[in-house]
Amino acid sequence: MLSWALFFLIVAIIAALFGFGGIAGAAASIAQILFVLFLILFVVALLLGRRVIS
C-alpha cells in the first residue's frame, strides 16, 4: 500500500510539472489517502502484534 502511495505521489509530481493541475491534484489526494490508511493499519498491526506476544 505504501508503494501505491509513492506511485501516486510520483504521478502527481510529474503531472504538475507538465501542467496537468486536475490530474496532479487527484493523484496527490489519492496518495494522501493511501498514506493515511497505511499509517492507520501499521499502528493497528503494531498494537495487535504486541498483544498477541505478551
Query: In the chain, what percentage of residues exceed pLDDT 70?
Result: 93
Reported pTM: 0.76
What is the distance between the alpha carbons of residues 42 and 36, in angstroms, rounded to a whole number?
A: 10
The confidence score (pLDDT) of residue 1 equals 75
Backbone angles phi, psi at 27, to 5 degrees: -65, -40
**Tell me: the pLDDT tens digits for 7-23?**
989 999 999 999 998 99
> What mean pLDDT, rounded, does the chain reach?
88
pLDDT band at 52 (very low <50, low <70, confident <90, very high): low
The residue to which cell 502484534 is assigned: 49
Residue 42 confidence class, pLDDT cut points 50, 70, 90: very high
